[in-house]
């Protein structure tokens, strides 16, 4: 009897966790964004020319952003590099920014809303061709 209860609780917890994952904030690094807000050719490594290259940073939320702007803070190899702002609409649940990179390295991108709440973060490696 104890094993059955444990198994049922384990399955319930697994469904809860998996269900929570699908409703979480997500950041994507990709070559484009389709009309429905999904990444086109997503990756965590991009090759750029020495003259620079761009990629899209896409954020998907399980709720409306409730802000007129968000900011992306970029850190290269752990050191602050740049802040980029994006105008948004309060009812948006996804948004993207085309960002040009001129340096190689590991970049961590943090997305913040207008209340300074961190929405999501992710890392991408930029390397020269």
Q: pTM of the full predicted structure?
A: 0.82
Q: Is the dihedral of CA 114, 118, 120, 122 positive or negative?
A: positive
In a domain, 6, yes or no: no
In whole numbers, what is the pLDDT of the chain averaged over residues? 88
Report yes or no on 42 lying in a domain: yes
Report whether pLDDT(58) > 70: yes
Q: What is the dihedral of CA 114, 116, 60, 37, to 10 degrees?
A: 30
Confirm if 60 and 92 have CB atoms less than 8 A apart: no
CATH number of the domain at 75, please.
Answer: 2.60.40.10
Q: Are 100 and 58 in contact (CB under 8 A)?
A: no
In this structure, the chain runs to a length of: 129
Report yes or no on 82 lying in a domain: yes
Q: How far, in Å, CA of 32 to CA of 81, rounded?
A: 23
Number of domains in the chain: 1
Residue range of the domain that includes 68: 24-128
User: Which range (11-15, 41-45, 64-68) has the least confidence?
Assistant: 11-15
Of all helices (H) and strands (E), which one includes residue 16? helix 2-22
- 10 within domain boundaries: no
pLDDT digits (tens, 9 = 90+) for 71-123: 999 999 999 999 999 999 999 999 999 999 999 999 999 999 999 999 999 99
């Amino acid at each position: 009897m104890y094993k059955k209860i444990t198994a049922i609780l384990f399955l319930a917890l697994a469904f809860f966790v998996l269900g929570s994952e699908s409703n979480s904030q997500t950041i994507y690094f990709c070559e484009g964004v389709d009309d429905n807000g999904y990444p086109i050719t997503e990756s965590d490594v991009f090759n750029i020319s020495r003259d620079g290259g761009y990629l899209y940073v896409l954020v998907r939320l399980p709720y409306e952003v409730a802000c007129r702007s968000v900011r992306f803070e970029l850190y290269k190899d752990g050191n602050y590099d740049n802040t980029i702002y994006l105008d948004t609409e309060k009812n948006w649940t996804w948004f993207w920014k085309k960002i040009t990179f001129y340096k190689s390295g590991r970049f961590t991108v943090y997305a913040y809303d207008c209340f300074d709440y961190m929405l999501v973060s992710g890392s991408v490696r930029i390397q020269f061709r």
